[in-house]
Structure 1
Amino acid sequence: MFTGLIQEQGKILKVNRKADTVQLTCQASEKILADYQIGDSMAINGVCLTAIAKTNSHFTVDIMPETFYRTTFSKLKINDQVNLERALSFHGRLEGHLVSGHIDTTVRLIEKRNHENALILTFDYPKDQQGEIIPQGSIAINGVSLTVTDVQARSFSVSLIPHSKDQTNLGTLNRGEYVNVETDMIGKYIKAQAHLTDKVTGGFLQ
């Protein structure tokens, strides 16, 4: 489990594609890797992954084919900057929102503009996530915990404060680029329950 509060940006060093898996090696600081062990979780651009190797300056994770193609990992290049967050400890503060590290979809940036000290990012609103993204609701974009500021029929927007813009890779996004999205966990359960209730009610009415 994660909070969506990014600890630092890492750099992709190697992407090794094999027949049935992908291994990704990422550079990180000695600070974040100090007590990071093989088998521990790390969210890379919001995706929960498990370490299979590490040194004081980098770590390697395995990525399943489904995860590789479901996320922006299929588009990653050497030297790309990625957002990193260690798993939440039970004695830690929950200052973002509950993020599972399981990506729902990828969306495309369609507009980027400044509004006073804020950076407004507007993305496509995927049809499959209709009802899961609401104004003032929580969302994780590339692993960053954000609040949805506006929702339209085909788009939604978030607003970044200078700290989030400078400390994550969202500030350098260009129009047309894709990001990983995880919608709010509670919202998904409510949507699933409502769908189940509709099916049951429909059955009784027939």
Structure 2
Amino acid sequence: MFTGLIKEKGKISHLSKNSQGVRLTCQVSAGFLEQIAIGDSIAVDGACLTCVAKRGREFVVDIMPETFKRTNLRYQHIGNTVNIEPALSAAGRFEGHFVTGHIDAQSQLLDKKKLGNAEILTFSCPQGHEGEIIAQGSVAVNGVSLTVVSCDEERFTVSLIPHSRDKTNLGQLKEGDWVNIETDILGKYIKAQTGIERRRHV
């Protein structure tokens, strides 16, 4: 479980692919890995992965084919910046919103503009997830917990404060870039339960 509050911007230092999957190595700041043990869950651009090795300032994760296919990790290259968040500690302070690290879909950045000190980002609304993204609700974009400003069936908009822009990779996005989307888990359960109730009364 995660919160969507990014603790680190990492840089991809190695990426190897074979028929079994992908192994990704990420470099982080000095001291960051002191809180990460081999076997721990760690979110990379919002995708929950497992740390399988670490050395110096680098950690290694394995990405299975299904995760690679369902996330924007398939577009990553050496030198790219990714958002990093360790798993939430039961004794830790909870902020943001409940983020599982299970990516629902990918969305494309359609528009980016400034409004005062904020940056307004508009993304395509992922098909099949209608009703899971609502105005003033929560959504995780590349693992970042954000509030939805507005939405319709085709697009949704979020607003970045300077801190979120500078401390995550969202500020580096260009129109056409793909991002990982995780919709609000509470909304998904309500949507699923509502569907069950409707089928019972048909």
| TM-score, with structure 1 as normaliser | 0.96
Q: Secondary structure at the match of 1:128?
A: coil
8 Å contact kept, 1:125–1:155:
yes
- Which residue does the alignment assign to 1:20? 20
Deviation at 1:118, TM superposition (A): 0.6
Q: Does the CA-based 8 Å contact 1:29-1:56 persist in structure 2?
A: no
Alpha-carbon distance between aligned partners in 2 of 1:45 and 1:89, rounded to the nearest angstrom: 19
Deviation at 1:56, TM superposition (A): 2.3
Give the drift of 1:130: 0.3
In the TM superposition, what whole-angstrom CA distance separates every residue of 1:20-57 from its partner, at most 9, and x where no partner exists? 21111000123220131110111000011001110121
Q: CA deviation at 1:152?
A: 2.0
Matched residue, 1:146:
146
2-structure distance, mates of 1:136, 1:31: 36
User: Aligned AA for 2:56?
Assistant: N
CA distance in 2: counterparts of 1:137 and 1:67, whole angstroms: 26
Distance 1:198 1:35 in 2: 46
Aligned AA for 2:93?
R
Q: Is contact 1:20–1:64 with CA below 8 Å preserved after alignment?
A: yes
Task: Quote the residue 2:85 is aligned against.
Answer: 85
Q: Where in structure 2 are the equivalents of 1:58-77 lying within 5 Å?
A: 58-77=58-77
Instruction: Report the counterpart of residue 34 of structure 2 in structure 1.
Output: 34
Percent identity of equivalent pairs: 53
> What is the SS of the residue equivalent to 1:30?
coil
Kindly state the Cα deviation for residue 200 of structure 1 after the two structures are TM-superposed. 1.1
Which structure 1 residue ranges, 5 or more long, are not aligned?
none
Question: 1:68: Cα distance to partner?
Answer: 0.3
Q: Is the 8 A contact 1:10 1:82 kept in 2?
A: yes
Give distance in 1, aligned partners of 2:99 and 2:56: 27
Between Structure 1 and Structure 2, how many residues are aligned?
Answer: 202
User: Which residue of structure 1 aligns with residue 175 of structure 2?
Assistant: 175
What secondary structure sits across from 1:170 in the alignment?
helix
Equivalences for residues 90-129 of structure 1 within 5 A: 90-129=90-129
The whole-number CA distance in structure 1 between the counterparts of 2:134 and 2:196 is: 20
Between the aligned partners of 1:18 and 1:153, the Cα distance in structure 2 is 38
The residue matched to 1:127 in structure 2 has which SS?
Answer: coil
SS in 2 for 1:99: coil
Which runs of 5 or more structure 2 residues have no equivalent in the other structure? none
Q: Deviations over 1:123-170 (max 9, x none)?
A: 001221100000000000000000000012310000000000010000
Amino acid at match of 1:108: Q
Give 1:6's aligned residue. Answer: 6
- Aligned residue in 2 for 1:137: 137
SS in 2 for 1:129: coil
- Distance in 2, matches of 1:142 and 1:32, equals 20
Choose 1 or 2 for highest CA Rg.
Answer: 1
Query: For 1:104 and 1:23, how far apart are their aligned partners in 2?
Result: 22
